[in-house]
Structure 1
Amino acid sequence: MPSHRFRAVRLLAIVSLAIAEPSAAFAAARNALVIGNSSYRPGYELRNPVADARAVAKSLSQLGFSVTLVEDSDLATAQRALDAFVPAATAGDAAVIYYAGHGAMIEGRSFLLPVDFSMASFDAVDREALDAERLMQALSSTHSSFKLLIFDACRNNPLETRGAAPLQRGSDAPPPRTENMLIAFSTTQGATALDGTGEHSPFAEGLIRHIGETGTDVDLLMKKVSSFVRDKTEGRQTVWIEGSMTRPFYLAAPASAAGAVTTIEPPRPAEAVELVFADSDTVLLTADRLAGLDAATLRLARNEIFARRGGRFADPALTAHFERFSWYRPTTFEPVLGAIEQKNVETIRRYELAASAPQDGFIFADSDRRLLTAEEVGALDKGQLAFARNEIYARRGRKFVKAEFRDYFSRFAWYKPQFGEVELTYVEQKNVDLIRKFEK
């Protein structure tokens, strides 16, 4: 019996200039971000995502894409890679984002799970996972004339097969409203996607096989992939496509020069550091101690809390780091933390995510990727609240009528005013609503 991909989700989002015929002009600037996560904790490892990501990265490179490849990424690294990718993709003619790894659907929202995600509970999914809607919003923000999103996923609870409580279910949250978007699912809603017997899933194998065919537009490409999946799975898996295409769109173009592949890894701790905060098990960490620390140090500070309690790590680099110290006695992937330790983990993660985001001019640099707390919003005065709320819109390219906001945000290189109204993600809208409550 072939295994089912109960735990893996793949997201391939392709944004590109639509043209009537493939031509040399199509081989202009192209950019791709490819993320593959396989090295989760024992019992949750995935066989194919990194192999699929490498194969997709190679295929895209051969089609002229400059590819950024991220393997076994934690949340902060994925956020950092996405932040760097969006402006590069906006400047080019074509952009691709591909994700392979664990995923989950909770109350209609799809999440991509980093390798350091706690598989025992989804209570902190808003803080510890990447909302797929943010990737959709990022692609929408590139304002390319054609967009294609492909999900190769078992759209189920990744913990159900292990006896965990079911996740709340819902339909997929709609993508940001945008023109010329096509969405392809590797399987129908409520069904599983087969994992396959080789190094790639049936859907990924079909995609890799046909993606480089010159003269094949995306519509025909997806039909070929669909037929491949149907034959490969003997009719047990059906590719489902939604949306519409107004004109042909080609991934493969003749005479495309191969692009470079650059690999990004999570930040590694300095070997000389044993404990960043020796008292993080007994004392609540404060802003003055966390401010100014880089992402690598913050990541180490967060994980040393788990290490002190005997926590084991899926990341070999973290394991090797803590094994150098005599006090480290790894026993479990789910160490029990005290109330102070848990609070410190949450606080450090906020600073860690903020450290991975562009900082210039922001009150909350990460308000596009996590839910703000009443405590931190309540600490702002009226003027700061107004800027904190409007920076969420400014990040999306909103044009401001008030000179106060227009002049302020125009000082920063990241602000690109283009639209009178902009769409926000679920997280961004929740943060706007929270800030408004304190402005009243």
Structure 2
Amino acid sequence: MTAILAFTIFAVAFCLIATEKIDKVKIVLVAAGIMTVLGLTPGAEVFFSEHEGVDWNVLFLLFGMMIIVGIVKQTGAFDYLAIWAAKRSRGRPYRLMVMLMVITAIASPFLDNVTTIMLVVPVTVVVCKRLAISPVPYIIAEILASNIGGASTLIGDPPNIIIGSRAGLSFNDFLVHMTPIVVIVFVVFVLLTRVMFRRSFQYNPERAAEIMSLQERRAIKDTGLLVRCMIVLALVIAGFSLHSVLHVEPSIVAMIGAGVMLLVTRAETAEVLEEVEWHTLVFFFGLFIMVSGLVHTGVIEAVGTWAVDTFADQPLAAATSLLFGSAVLGAFFDNIPYTATMAPIVEEVVAQLPAGDGEPLWWAFALGADFGGNGTAIAASANVVAIGIAAQTGNRISFWQFTRYGVIVTVLSTVMAWAYVWLRYFT
């Protein structure tokens, strides 16, 4: 009974978010409050439990990077990159989109897709303003590219970190098994954007000529400040990359980096905090509590138990179920808490298979969770963060505006991933 009630509240909240008639932060806070009052969440444990509680690592990673990005913005670096990108594309919209997607997809595996989005989206807004075109299609394309590109490494997408830790998979394991299909999917995705966003590619020769006459170096407001910011940012990136060696959570690295950057740049704390996307952070907080209700009442575990009972002795069927199931469920429940909940269940299924037969299940699980992050506007952290930044700059992206593109990309990438898993591990 409690599981049905928790699922009903979550489903109603999700539908209200999709209609966009009420602010999504209000919806998740009210839904989280109702779940808590009805005893559907673990109570005070929601603040402390790693399995059933708020994922503070995600929230503090976002908070730290928001501070870092806010300080870097003061240097004029985003304007510099915007002019540089516009000039290299010669003002051609599709060429510019491809360039921004490639930058996003290459950076995401090493910075993690949330950090990459926080760096790329402000640049996109500036360059599109320069060219007098809407940045919305470009931001949507970057979000989709970040979730695809981030799937290729251990640190590129938060679900991969969870899966790698649970399965004992290394950074190199992800490179070998995930990168080939990620590259193929990304190439197909780039070609697909030519069709999906075809109405947005309106070339303005006058604006392009103006851009070509600009000097990007003049955009830098303070060279000394920029140098200090880049040094700290480089150290933060190194900290992310050495996660498996240092055993320090990315959230800790981001928070230390934010503190060091505030010190070395002598930025005004009050001004920097105004750049923080509090709206996005509070939304995640409420969403995590809602998902904790599904975990606490056994909704997600019931799905996993069914999978164990049904597919324990059928590796290909188990991999197929995990891949498509993760893509669908990850799109609705946010792929971070979903992955954290399902990882122990996948481990149980793998343990019941003969030695060596279980590893493909982990890759199917990772591909489904990562690519499912493109399914809806709230399916992954990068989606929520990017849409929040866009809204702050006056470029609102609605739930359905994103989702209608995300569903297409998710279906295509998931089918391609299934073919890859089948050909590589079962033929």
Task: Please report the TM-score for the alignment, with normalisation by the length of structure 1.
Answer: 0.31
If each structure's helix is expressed as a fraction of its own residues, which one has the higher value?
2
Q: Which has the higher contact order (CA 8 A, sep 6+)?
A: 2
